[in-house]
Amino acid sequence: MREVIDIPAQLAAAQEKFNKEAGRAFIAALPDLTARFLDRWELRVTGAPMHGVSALVLPVDRADGTPAVLKLQIRDDESEGEPIALRLWNGDGAVRLLDHDEPTGTMLLERLDSSRMLAHQPDVHEGVLVIARLLAHLHATPAPEGMRRLGDITAAMLERAPSALDRIPDPAARRLVADWAAVVREVADEPGDRLLHWDLHDENVLAADRAPWLAIDPKPLAGDPGFDLWPALANNFDAEDIRWRFDAMTDVLGLDRARARAWTYGRLLQNSLWETEDGRPLNDNDLEIGRRLRDASDQRRS
């Protein structure tokens, strides 16, 4: 008998909000898609559905009893590189890919312990160091041909920046964003070639039996490691802790601080463009991160 899967209402609402018609079509097709892969890969559902903004995740057992998770998601520019990156990392710092259907983007993944998330750890500094150590493993892999590239993203950002700046009403914030764009322009010709995670925050790090912590849910691209630092600066935001986190991560990763700062500005610029173009105010925490990194740079030069 076909197993009936309840589609979480929050997932349906998120797809409606962010992907409109494509999101509605994905949600409508999800029950049949789920049933198809449960049958194709001989899986048995063993727990309640989990979800983020774009994916349904089902705890399952394989035919031989091996625990796994089935991840079904809408394909987009960010998610389509996920199975490629996971295959290349092959479990070194990240969850293992067990099977993959390229046309739909459906994946069968190693099951980690979703009850033990890095976000639940009380020591924020240790959490930052865990993320930095994981990034060191992930960045050791060069990005493959065909992966979306930071160089292309940067060129598009710099082209959009002048128009976005005109829409920022506060002069101080506008100057800060303009400074980010100017610094990014200086490093744009050397965007890097490492395989980046892009979204490694403390809710995307889970415990496992084979390793203390592993990364999940990459939105991979080819680029400079400095572009991967922002999530750990913004997580559990504490303005007084920004400089410690930045220095600690660049130490663990062995990064040139000026270059890492420039690409962190690139990430702040990316966020500010999205917010401005969608008619939202700039994020106060991002502005503070930019100010603190600028002031730390000024202090080192003085």
Residue numbers annotated as active site: 199
Contacts of 86 (CB under 8 A, 6+ apart): 94, 95, 96, 97, 107, 109, 218
Is the Cβ–Cβ distance between 5 and 34 less than 8 Å? yes
Sequence letter at residue 217: D
What distances in angstroms separate CA 95 from CA 90, 101, 117, 206, one per listed residue?
8, 17, 13, 9
d(CA 205, CA 217): 9
DSSP of 58-117: EEEE-TTS-EEEEEEE---TTTTTHHHHHHHHTTSSBPPEEEEETTTTEEEEE--EEEEE
d(CA 64, CA 67): 9
What distances in angstroms separate CA 168 from CA 93, 178, 180, 272, one per listed residue?
39, 10, 14, 10
Helix, strand, or coil (residue 29): helix
d(CA 275, CA 289): 16
